[in-house]
Structure 1
């Protein structure tokens, strides 16, 4: 299967962003395409009312992604604001076979995001075309617990929509792949966004990383649609350990039923 990314300068107009997604699907054959974080609307918002307005476009955005999934016979993982009652989540929608399989809500929010978003409460994996996929969003990468838990939930691969400007996230992503012996697909955006006295610059450089943390796709700071063929061996290991998951299981939590009786 060919797993990849579509990277572009996300705009505040949904129609323009959908045009970029379709352009990427037209130019690169992908079985699964990962899009950037908040790629429906952009990242910065003046206040909660403007964020809620963007979230109200999410159903139309999802309908369009479902149509693209059908037309190009692919799965799509896309970042968007998702409203549930009075709460708005920074979410990733998982679309395949022309329907939405569900959402992952970002667990770990930056200080800026905490002013507007509600943090997610549940770690999740999804079955996409027979592969168990752990989905996360940007700052979640900085918490190895998220990925170890997804590994214990059966994740064979990680997909992560992101919005970042510094180089550190790329290093962290490579480590997350390596320490769990599972490939990782990372999709950033490009361009600059401004809101009042805040400016956010996004570096692009999205990519697919192997289970050894090696980049399998070229770097780019502009539009990029690219993929890589990935396989998922039954036993996951590295150069010093044939079965890494056996070692992971040694660290599973110990549950105590009663005093003096510990069971795993």
Structure 2
């Protein structure tokens, strides 16, 4: 399976600019690429309390529709984040897995970083879906610093964990360590794509997008500049990693929460209130 990691700078609040670069990057993917992954809130950038209502869009909003159209034209799946305006009047930090057929998976960030609080509402569930015969889950940025986030996806059968990331200095090494641990603990591939460049409030995004195999070993690691990394995932290696032992099978307790399985193949773990 060929995956492309598109590590980009973004403009907070400039939806038109971010969307144009996203669409350009999708159309630049190789014809045999099956999945392209972008950073956290790629389409909108990070909002403020002052502009969140203006830049956030619903799941069926114009930016997501444009990405869906590009996915159909390119026959590729896209993991992309944005500030979501939900029907309940709340705002969520959301990442979608968009396929040529439509939205396969939606995840809203459950662990809010300091700058997310007061702007976004935390999500209330983890989820995986079946995609090209692989069970895929999504987490976002700060989520990966909590082992339970990735373990929830593992408990839902994840074989590939996608991380849309917006990690800044000085925390780059933290996420490098975390992504290796989360992949190893769940014997799954992990694909993490971070932002680069300057942001608002003197932030500098750390880059370091990476792919980690089910043994916790780095396959690909980017630097601090804009780039496109292409990697082939060998799922025979995943089977090998689970052949002699299974952390999930041998764990002594399961995470609490209501498990739901939908006809679409989506599995959810609802976080207890």
User: Same fold per TM (> 0.5)?
Assistant: yes
Partner of 1:225: 228
Gaps of 5+ in 1: 255-264
Give the Cα–Cα distance (whole angstroms) in 1 for the partners of residues 110 and 100 of structure 2.
Answer: 27
**Offset of 1:220 from its aligned partner?**
2.5
Give the Cα–Cα distance (whole angstroms) in 1 for the partners of residues 45 and 254 of structure 2.
Answer: 39
Give the Cα–Cα distance (whole angstroms) in 2 for the partners of residues 76 and 118 of structure 1.
Answer: 24
Question: Which stretch shifts more, 70-79 or 227-236?
Answer: 227-236
Distance verdict in 2 for CA 1:89–1:24, change over 3 Å: same
1:119 matched to 2:125: no
What's the Cα RMSD here? 2.2
**TM superposition score normalised by structure 1:** 0.86
Structure having the higher Rg:
1
Partner of 2:16: 15
Partner of 2:175: helix, strand, or coil? helix
1:177 matched to 2:183: yes
Partner of 1:53: 54
1:237 matched to 2:237: no
Which runs of structure 1 show a deviation greater than 4 angstroms over 4 or more consecutive aligned residues?
Answer: none
Give matches, 1:1-264, under 5 Å. Answer: 1-11=1-11, 12-29=13-30, 30-45=33-48, 47=49, 49-56=50-57, 59-84=61-86, 85-165=88-168, 166-167=171-172, 168-194=174-200, 198-233=201-236, 235=239, 237=241, 242-245=244-247, 247-252=249-254
Tell me how many residue pairs correspond in the alignment: 247
Instruction: Answer whether contact 1:7 1:188 (CA < 8 A) is retained.
Output: yes
Gaps of 5+ in 2: 257-273
Partner of 1:76: helix, strand, or coil? strand
Instruction: Answer whether contact 2:191 2:212 (CA < 8 A) is retained.
Output: yes
Give the Cα–Cα distance (whole angstroms) in 1 for the partners of residues 57 and 26 of structure 2.
Answer: 25
